[in-house]
């Protein structure tokens, strides 16, 4: 089991190492302060100003695409696909995230995923994306991939993505709250059996 990655539902993870990193904070219930908050896109279930506020301390740095950044206050780094930055010692690569067979996240929005390094491990947070050709170029030790279908990849497509990225561990996300269920996560794990280690994290 990965010990430093905690799933709080949907695309919200609390990841600890040199820093406390939160991803796409949504429906936050426990009091905590993030060092870094990374946000993939402007949809309400990913870019939630009230949830960001709950985790913000005086030194919290937020990384987000411009349209989400405009909704937030504090120390914010506005990013687009292709950017690379170092935030408080954490290396962050900004990668594309978009739909190919639906229109919820069009490429022109310049919404993103991230590959960031915590405790020496490269963690890929896919964001709301379909299975895109760029994934063949991504290198990651741990891949956090959406599996619900509808707005993002299906479990089957996510499994194909995982095979391209070839991480040590793949973790399904984006199910159980807005869309998708544990069945999608199980399907994803089933398709990767014997190929890539999948960890279905308990929701905390
Ligand atoms: Zn979205």
The string of pLDDT tens digits covering residues 81-118 is 999 999 999 999 999 999 999 999 999 999 999 999 99
Q: 194 CA distance to ligand 1 centroid (A)?
A: 31
Q: In angstroms, what is the span from residue 159 Cα to ligand 1's centroid? A: 20
Q: How close is the Cα of 105 to the center of ligand 1, in Å?
A: 6
Please give the pLDDT value at position 179.
Answer: 86
The Cα 23–Cα 55 span in angstroms is 11
Q: Is residue 131 part of a domain?
A: yes
Answer positive or negative: Cα dihedral of 52, 44, 28, 117: negative
Ligand 1 centroid vs 84 CA: distance in angstroms? 22
Domain range for 151 is 5-195
- The low-confidence residues of the chain, meaning pLDDT below 50, are none
> For residue 114, what are the contacts with CB-CB under 8 A and spacing of at least 6?
23, 38, 40, 63, 92, 93, 94, 95, 124, 125, 127
CATH number at residue 141: 3.60.15.10
**Spatial CA neighbour of 73 closest among 81, 64, 82:** 64
- Which residues are paired to 125 by β-bridges? 114, 144
Q: How far is the CA of 66 from the centre of ligand 1 (A)?
A: 15
Q: How many domains does the chain have?
A: 1
From ligand 1's centre to the CA of 9, what distance in Å? Answer: 15
């Amino acid at each position: 089991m990965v010990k430093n990655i905690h799933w709080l539902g949907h695309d919200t993870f609390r990841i600890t190492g040199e820093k406390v990193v939160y991803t796409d904070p949504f429906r936050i219930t426990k009091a905590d302060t993030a060092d870094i908050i990374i946000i993939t896109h402007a949809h309400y279930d990913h870019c939630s100003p009230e949830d960001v506020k709950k985790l913000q301390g005086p030194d919290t740095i937020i990384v987000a695409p411009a349209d989400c950044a405009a909704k937030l206050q504090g120390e914010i780094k506005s990013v687009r696909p292709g950017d690379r930055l170092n935030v408080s010692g954490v290396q962050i690569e900004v990668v594309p995230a978009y739909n190919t067979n639906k229109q919820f996240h069009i490429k022109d929005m310049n919404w993103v995923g991230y590959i960031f390094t915590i405790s020496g491990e490269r963690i890929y947070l896919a964001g709301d994306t379909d299975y895109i050709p760029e994934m063949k170029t991504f290198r990651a030790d741990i891949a956090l991939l959406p599996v619900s279908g509808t707005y993002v990849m299906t479990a089957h497509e996510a499994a194909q993505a995982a095979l391209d990225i070839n991480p040590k561990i793949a973790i399904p996300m984006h199910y159980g709250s807005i869309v998708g269920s544990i069945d999608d996560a199980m399907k994803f794990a089933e398709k990767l059996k014997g190929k890539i280690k999948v960890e279905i994290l308990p929701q905390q």
